[in-house]
Each structure stands twice: as C-alpha cells, then as structure tokens.
Amino acid sequence: MPTKKDSKGGLQDVVATTSAICDLDGDRGMLSYCGYDISDLATCATFEEVCYLLWHRRLPTRSELGDLQSQFSTAAPLPEQILRIMRSLPPGDGMDALRTLTSALAHYDHEAGDTSAPAQYRKAIRLTAKISTIVATWGRLQISGGSIAPDPALGHAANFLYMLTGQRPTTRATRAFDIALILHADHELNASTFAGRVTAATLSDIYSAAVAAIGALKGPLHGGANAAVMRLLLEIGEDASNEQIDQAIKSKLNKKEKIPGFGHRVYRTEDPRATHLRQMSRELGEESGHPGWFKVSERIEALVKAEKNLNANVDFYSASTYHALGISIDLFVPIFAVSRISGWTAHILEQYGNNRLIRPRAEYIGPEYPQQFVELSQR
C-alpha cells in the first residue's frame, strides 16, 4: 500500500476515477466539457445547451434543446410546501437554507425512490431547475420581497435574475449571467463533486448526493472566495485612487494576509474562466454606471501579479460581475450551486452508470501496536 510520504496531502494529483465529463490541464490553462473548449462554450452556447452536453456528452439538436427548455420551465416552480418551509427558516446563510430545502425536495418528488436511469435523469433536470428557483426566492425573501413565480417564457439565466430582482433583465445582463453559469458548471473532481460521487457510490439517492455536494461547497476553502473578494473591494472603495489601492493591498501582503481570488490548486497559468469574467465585469460595470469596481479589480490583479506572481482565478472577477448584476454578497456561494448542480448531477449519473463503492485507505500514524492495556484503577 502506498504510504503518505509517497503522495501529497489532500489527495493532490491523485487520480481517483475516470470520467468523460470534464478535462483540465493546469499547465496549459485548458478547460473543456466533453471535449469542447470552455471559451467556445462561453462564446457560443447557452447554459441549457451545456447542461445537455454534460448529461449526454454531446450537444443537443434544436428539438432536443427545446424539449429540455420546456422541461426546465415545467420543473422550475416550487411546491407550496417548500415555500412554507423556506418562509419558516430564520434569516441566515443561504447555503444553510439551500442544503435544507434541497433535502426537503425529495419528500415531494414522486420519483425520489426510482433508481432507473430515465428517472435519475428526470430528477437531474428537476434539481437543476428547482435549485435556481430556491436560491432566487431565498434571496428575494431576505430583502422582504415577495416570491415571484418563474416565467416560462424566459430562459434559465434570465428567469433567475427576474425571480431575484422582479425586473426583466437586459440582454447584456442575461448573457453575462448565462456565461457565468456556463463557466461554473463543472470543474472535474473538485471537493463538492467528489463528495457527491462518494455519496452516489453508496447507491444513496440523488438528493442525498446533491446535499453532500452542497455541504462541501459551503466550506470556505471551496466556495466563498468570490464573496471575500467583494468584501475586499467594498473595503477599498469604488472610487479609490491607485495609490490607495496599492497601499491597501501591500499592507495586507506585508501582514502575510492572503488576497482572495488568486492562485489555484490546479492551474499554473491564468484560469481560462477568469478571462471571460474579466470582460463581463468591465462591460457590466459600464452598463450599470459603476465602472470603478472593475478598475479597482484590475489594479489589484496587476499588483498581486507583480508582487506574488499569482494569477486571478474564477472567483476574482465573478465578484464584481455579480455585484454589477445587483446580486447580494450572501448569494454568491449559493449561485455557485445554481450552476454547479448541472455538473454535480452529471457526475452522479456517471457514477450510477458504472459504480463501485469508493473506499480509499489511510496510512496509520498513531501509537505503535500493540499497546498494553492499563486497568482504569491503575491510570
């Protein structure tokens, strides 16, 4: 059995399974879904097309895409029982609410116990549709707004923004959010996806696997970096001068504080997702009349690159992008789940399709065996 000294901590670089869903190359800065480069998908596809791609390993025909869009529209409304549970929850962390409400969904799914492949696929569609509605509705309730039913005439991205804000989003805002969903849809065997697959490998149900993934995403070492980025930007201020920005960042670096949104466990070059989010941050800032957030972000990026040789990751520019869309910081991590549920369910379905219980080993480093047992009276 390999010993711990033969490997890095946290299972880094350990190949735990095979998958046909997502591929990435950290040295080349390459990310692809089912062989399609992320830049092509972000430029040309919709989130609904990417969902179909992740679930079927191919892009949909026009008819297939129309069917999926109809299925999303049908599945998007929440059962009244779920809305009552949501209203009964105390204000707080959106991830806590999402974890609870996703688990509760299973009680109102007539196919929850059906393990056939067609039923699992239908549940993946329902989960993807309903988690979007849960997060948007939760966000609206936190600002004392009434819940807004999804509009079947709107696509997935536009519907989320509409349910959250009560306003039909602009074409640019819709496309920006659509791209953000595409960029976050999957990222190989990250912590939350692995948690979902480990749960699915026990042949537990798809809702339990999704809840396991949500629980992992809640952890600050996985989700949450973009919220920390936005708090940093607010601390510095939209109208800060270059000198003020430099002083704030250098002060943190001198105190050995990490600047959120930089570096990545896998990528050794620029995160390919950051390239698109940088552009969206700039465009949305201009459209919203608040270009300062992008300018501050750009200055921080240049400084951290010069001082620490670290590249911006997917979280850095998603912060100012979401802020420009009018999304509160408290929803940044739940929105990650709105997108990633497509990838989670793709991996869960893949695990079900070719399953073996995931049971790794641990190298024992405790007291030497055998220890002499000492009676309680002698201790």
d(CA 320, CA 326): 10
Q: How far is CA 142 from the centre of its chain?
A: 21
For residues 29 and 129, membership in a common domain is answered with yes
For residues 125 and 150, membership in a common domain is answered with yes
Q: Could you report the per-residue pLDDT of 54-64, keeping only the tens digit for each? A: 999 999 999 99
CA distances to 49, 72, 101, 221, 245 from 354, in Å: 24, 27, 29, 30, 51
Q: Tell me the average pLDDT across 39-57.
A: 98
For residues 168 and 185, membership in a common domain is answered with yes
Is 314 within the bounds of a domain?
Answer: yes
Q: Could you report the per-residue pLDDT of 162-220, keeping only the tens digit for each? A: 999 999 999 999 999 999 999 999 999 999 999 999 999 999 999 999 999 999 999 98
Q: How far is the first Cα of the chain from the last one, in angstroms, to the nearest whole number?
A: 36
Indicate which residue of 178, 205, 315, 323 is catalytic.
315
Which amino acid is it at 312?
Answer: A
> Which structural domain, as residue segments, surrounds residue 285?
225-324
Tokens (6 digits) for 352: 């079900």
d(CA 279, CA 35): 24
For residues 31 and 153, membership in a common domain is answered with yes
For residues 216 and 314, membership in a common domain is answered with no
Torsion of CA 89, 91, 94, 99, to 10 degrees: -20
Coil, strand, or helix at residue 184? coil
The answer to whether residue 14 scores a pLDDT higher than 90 is no
- Secondary structure of the chain: what % helix, strand, coil (to 5)? 60, 5, 35
For residues 41 and 76, membership in a common domain is answered with yes
d(CA 8, CA 4): 7
Is 374 within the bounds of a domain?
Answer: no
Q: How many structural domains does the chain have?
A: 2
Q: Which of 252, 259, 270 is nearest to 312 (CA)?
A: 270
Is 84 within the bounds of a domain?
Answer: yes
State the pLDDT confidence band at 69, using cuts at 50, 70 and 90. Answer: very high
Is 378 within the bounds of a domain?
Answer: no
Residue 264 annotated as catalytic:
yes
Q: Could you report the per-residue pLDDT of 225-282, keeping only the tens digit for each? A: 899 999 999 999 999 999 999 999 999 999 999 999 998 888 888 899 999 999 999 9
d(CA 322, CA 339): 13
State the pLDDT confidence band at 35, using cuts at 50, 70 and 90. Answer: very high
For residues 190 and 174, membership in a common domain is answered with yes
Contact 238, 320 (CB under 8 A): no
Is 303 within the bounds of a domain?
Answer: yes
Contact 102, 211 (CB under 8 A): yes
- Domain CATH number, residue 71: 1.10.580.10
State pTM to two decimals: 0.94
Q: Tell me the average pLDDT across 301-325.
A: 95
Q: Tell me the average pLDDT across 14-40.
A: 95
Indicate which residue of 264, 276, 323, 347 is catalytic.
264
- With a pLDDT cut of 70, the percent of the chain lying above it is 98
Is 40 within the bounds of a domain?
Answer: yes
Is 34 within the bounds of a domain?
Answer: yes
The answer to whether residue 295 scores a pLDDT higher than 90 is yes
The answer to whether residue 3 scores a pLDDT higher than 60 is no
The answer to whether residue 151 scores a pLDDT higher than 90 is yes
For residues 187 and 121, membership in a common domain is answered with yes
Is 48 within the bounds of a domain?
Answer: yes
Average predicted confidence (pLDDT) for the chain:
95
DSSP 368: P
pLDDT value, residue 7:
62
Coil, strand, or helix at residue 162? helix
Residue 347 annotated as catalytic:
no
For residues 239 and 134, membership in a common domain is answered with no
d(CA 76, CA 68): 12
d(CA 301, CA 316): 9
For residues 38 and 134, membership in a common domain is answered with yes
pLDDT value, residue 308:
95
d(CA 269, CA 26): 7
Q: Could you report the per-residue pLDDT of 95-144, keeping only the tens digit for each? A: 999 999 999 999 999 999 999 999 999 999 999 999 999 999 999 999 88
Q: How is 64-87 classified by DSSP, letter by letter?
A: HHHHHHHHHHHH-SPPHHHHHHHH
d(CA 339, CA 38): 14
For residues 105 and 138, membership in a common domain is answered with yes
For residues 206 and 246, membership in a common domain is answered with no
